[in-house]
Amino acid sequence: MIESNRTTRTVTGPVSIGDAGSGSPSGLLDGFPVYGLEENGMEITNADLDAFHGHFGPTNQFPTGIYHYHFTDEDPYLNGSGYYGEKGWVTQ
């Protein structure tokens, strides 16, 4: 379970890093999901992302849209200037 004082998300089953259109996302400590290098068949670069290394948009898991992070092959690779949401904690 990933918890923050903004939201609680329970992740069950295997967690993989995939593109925003497939797989189960993992999440950072603010509860927002993390996806891989691609979204809708296009490679994501730093220029596509905000200062926190994420953006708002639809994914297969959240078709109406959600803020989400991406890994990239450019520095800072993940999680730029802190968190978009408030950092929480992880419990088992």
pLDDT at residue 62 in the model: 86
Contact partners, residue 12, CB within 8 Å, separation at least 6:
none
pLDDT tens, position by position, 8-63: 444 443 344 445 555 555 777 777 888 888 888 889 999 999 999 999 999 888 88
- Alpha carbons 60 and 65: distance in angstroms, whole number: 9
pLDDT at residue 5 in the model: 42
Which residue from 8, 18, 24, 66 is spatially nearest to 40, judged by alpha carbons? 18
- Alpha carbons 80 and 11: distance in angstroms, whole number: 23
How far is the first Cα of the chain from the last one, in angstroms, to the nearest whole number? 6
Tokens of 70: 């991406």
Contact partners, residue 68, CB within 8 Å, separation at least 6:
20, 25, 32, 33, 34, 35, 54, 55, 56, 57, 59, 62
Q: Is the pTM of this model over 0.85?
A: no
